[in-house]
Chain A
Amino acid sequence: MTDSYITPDGRTIGGVLMDMRGITLRFGGVEAIKNISFDIREGEIRAIIGPNGAGKSSMLNVISGFYHPQDGEVWFRGAKRPSMRPYDVARQGIARTFQNIALFEGMSVLDNIMCGRLTHMKTGIFSQAIWHGAAQREEVENREAVERIIDFLEIQAIRKTPVGRLPYGLKKRVELARALAAEPKLLLLDEPMAGMNVEEKEDMSRFILDVNDEFGTTIALIEHDMGVVMDLSDRVVVMDYGRKIGDGTPDEVRGNQEVIDAYLGVAHD
């Protein structure tokens, strides 16, 4: 499974970028994730789906380094990842968005996205305050990168608007912009379409595909909307009660009896 291949729509999927090996996560006596293994390959769109409480968000938090699993190993770019703080993970090239939007409401869209450039800023707080030389150049470079993302996500009109005044769908887009500003290798999206109407979902799907296509960013996403997941993703992991019950292409997953049972419900003895 390490050879690269080309998808039917012409994208190149590379080798394994992230490998989750036998992950188990417990909160006290509750086992949120039970011995799950799967991998994410370079350039692919990988979805994690499952009913409510299946452990999807926990899994995303493990990937992003926020939770530390009791058992199992996380391998990223061919090396075993030690237990690290979330900012170290961000430095490694992993960025994320949140299920409940986590933006700075009082700050403008531009400033919020600039925050995403934090890992790309080298100058210290003092030279930034004096606004001279390297700090100035750096700010200009970062601003340019941010402006390209603003252009890409078509949010020029709200550049200077405080985030708190934006409707929900746009906030989601700004959050995506902030994550993209970090120029991540791996982008984690926690329910990017939750609470959106059909049109907003279509826009967001378009942007996710464009990000993957244009920047070659690997994307792992959690989503409830089955239609969206099946259309967007290359491979899908299905979770239920902390277990992995399916893994494969959308078609394979759709035909999996265990998955159908989990979604439609069967009697529990």
Chain B
Amino acid sequence: MTADQLHSIPALLARNVASFGDKPAYREKEFGIWQSWTWTQAAAEIDALAAGLLTLGAVPDDHIAIVGRNRPALYWAMVAAQRIGCVPVPMYSDAAAEEMAYALDHCGARFAVVSDQEQVDKIADIREGLTELEHIIYLDGRGLRKYDHGAMTSYGDVQAAGRVAELSARLDELSAARGYDDTCVMLYTSGTTGRPKGVVLSNRNVIETSKNSSDFDGLRVGEEVLAYLPMAWVGDFIFSIGQSMWTGFCVNCPESEATMMTDLREIGPTYYFAPPRVFETQLTQVMIRMEDAGRVKKWLFDHFMAVAHRVGPDLLDGKPVGGLDRLRYALGNLFVFGPLKNTLGLSRVRVGYTAGEAIGPEIFDFYRSLGINLKQLYGQTEATVFITQQPDGEVRSDTVGVPSPGVELKIAENGEVFYRSPGTFMSYYKNPESTASTKDAEGWVATGDAGFIEEGSGHLRIIDRAKDVGQMADGRLFAPKYVENKLKFYPNILEAVVFGAGREYCTAFINIDLTAVGNWAERNNIAYSSYQELSQHPQVLGQIEAHVSEVNISVASDPMLAGCQIHRFLVLHKELDADDGEMTRTRKVRRAVIADKFSDLIGALYSDATDVYTETEVTYEDGRKGQITATLDLRDAVVAAEQVAA
């Protein structure tokens, strides 16, 4: 098969079977052992399921919902759907029933392939309203024995029926009927604003992007990745299906969510993606453990980390470094960096990416100085991930890199970033108005982010969401995320939300990081009984106040954004949570929801009060609701003198 015939995922699968059929394609840890499937075995599993779906009555262009954590069988379900000309629609498995109901109803899925009883129950709750959904296929039958199996079959049984039916000729016929511009997959955006939208990506979008991005970083067979990010997220689709199918590397699935870190260490991925939050958490844990370490170990760590900070990034970028420093670094690698990377599971990482949020410069530098090639990329679902990315040797924490291969960029008058690329999405499903307002006739797509291209390097820098960038009452620029990111770089601040558009001054809500602050409390013998109590502890508030004041000094040094200094803040009594609608499932802050829900607190921040009593409704994981009440301290922060522009 020639390259120009590789116009669908099933075609890539067939090529992989032919080229390296006995190499591992999927691994999953189960019952404590890594089980693996070669490309040939995986293709057989996929064909069995695809044929089984046909016997259940699936016809081309049906939407097939896929819900569950990362497991080979669910990846196969996606490819099986494509094999018979259907469109896989992966969905967030931790979504509440009504969120899932919206997506299931909107895409009109006739079939749903789900992981276990939890997902079956969720769909059972909403099934009344879903007129199109005909059949559920479940992977793990535990607890489902007593359920009515009229419209429900186990994954194994569907495959068995498929194997008996012997439909391989029909499968090939259906796969061959799909063209390069037919739909490959539909992914729901997390929806920072309003309802999630179904982004339709074509085979061209997925395969061109996978090809370009694999070439960019030289990805090849033999690469190892750990698939642990939500399957509904475009990134996982591109890494675990697009690039894996294109290059033929192996996708490893962890045993459970809780074992991800252990599994990461066992697999030792060579190509690794994680959102900044994961790197932050890991760094916080390392620092906490070093606090508890013995004096010698602590000294070794501090000493060699200083060396690493000085020369590590330069070594990684291939810049000249003195012989003595090279020796020091090599010693450090022997005693500290090597073992540390091994503990983190990052020993073999050749290409590492982070994206989604800004990453703190200290955090970024920490990993790079250890010799881990961590880079940033900028992307979105509508672009099939890649818009810009950092080439090796040009890595910095404050940019998101140069345009990815095949991507054109332009910056609009108001600073909004536009792009056009082979990955540019086809449309929003059943939503021509949104499609038209996002993508113009020439194919330019509005990112919704404000940024600029740095002169000299040609790197893109993102300031904030375009719609969040506003003006304060005195007309000065208000860019909340810029300040929030600075705050979030402190290990004990998990989340921050800054208000100030149209106001005299800025204020902030702050979420403490329970791991970091809890550990600090333990070491200092500070007793607390709940998150709420810890969050309002005078010493905690004192620390946060110091952080806010430091951030103010840093903000004041930028003449353009000096107006964004935080004058008053409070520490929230609950963690902002996707279950309460305050964040998206990908953990992005929903400003409008928060501003509305906590309007009483914002009001208090812009008054003279020193504390405020509040009642908040919270939603538990199982969907039940409860009330929490609290009295929150309102604190003033030190505002720094602004530097006068010369």
Contacts and interface: CB of A to CB of B under 8 A. Distances in A.
Contacts of A154: 256
B318 interface: no
Contacts of B255: 156
A84 B22 CA distance: 57
Contact of B142 (A10, A143, A144, A214): A214
Nearest to B621: A199
A256 B640 CA distance: 73
A252 to B, nearest CB: 24
Contacts of B31: 144, 147-148, 150-151
A79 interface: no
Most buried by B among A11, A148, A154, A157: A157
A159 B32 contact: yes
A157 B142 contact: no
B256 A210 contact: no
Most buried by A among B32, B143, B258, B262: B32
B467 interface: no
Contacts of A156: 32, 255-256, 258-259
A45 to B, nearest CB: 15
A152 B255 CA distance: 12
B30 to A, nearest CB: 7
B523 interface: no
Nearest to A148: B31
A126 to B, nearest CB: 27
A258 interface: no
Interface string B256-277: 1011001000000000000000
Chain B interface main SS type: loop
Interface string B543-585: 0000000000000000000000000000000000000000000
B32 A213 contact: no
Interface string B525-553: 00000000000000000000000000000
B226 to A, nearest CB: 15
Interface string A152-170: 1010110100000000000
B142 A150 contact: no
In which size bucket is the chain B interface? Answer: 10 to 19
Interface residues of A, number: 17
A155 to B, nearest CB: 9
Given A156-B258, A157-B258, A151 B30 contact: yes
Interface string B137-154: 000001101100000000
Nearest to A10: B146
A3 interface: no
A9 interface: yes
Interface in B246-297: 255-256, 258-259, 262
A158 to B, nearest CB: 8
A214 B32 contact: no
Interface in B1-56: 30-33
Nearest to B261: A157
A150 B32 contact: yes
B261 to A, nearest CB: 9
Contacts of B262: 157
A80 to B, nearest CB: 35
B142 A210 contact: yes
B259 A9 contact: no
Contacts of A11: 146
A268 B31 CA distance: 57
A210 B145 CA distance: 10
A11 B146 CA distance: 8
B142 A152 contact: yes
A10 B147 CA distance: 10
Interface in B52-73: none
A111 to B, nearest CB: 13
B256 A157 contact: yes
B146 A214 contact: no
Nearest to A151: B31
B143 A210 contact: yes
Interface in A133-184: 143-144, 147-148, 150-152, 154, 156-157, 159
A154 B30 CA distance: 12
Contacts of B145: 213-214
Interface in A1-39: 9-11
Interface string B222-262: 00000000000000000000000000000000011011001
A154 B31 CA distance: 11
Most buried by B among A144, A148, A156: A156
6 contacts: A147-B32, A147-B33, A150-B31, A157-B258, A157-B259, A213-B146
Interface of A: 9-11, 143-144, 147-148, 150-152, 154, 156-157, 159, 210, 213-214
Given A143-B32, A154-B256, A157-B258, 9 more contacts: A11-B146, A156-B32, A156-B255, A156-B259, A157-B256, A157-B262, A213-B146, A214-B142, A214-B145
A-B interface, 3 closest residue pairs, ranked by CB to CB distance from nearest: A157-B258, A147-B31, A10-B146
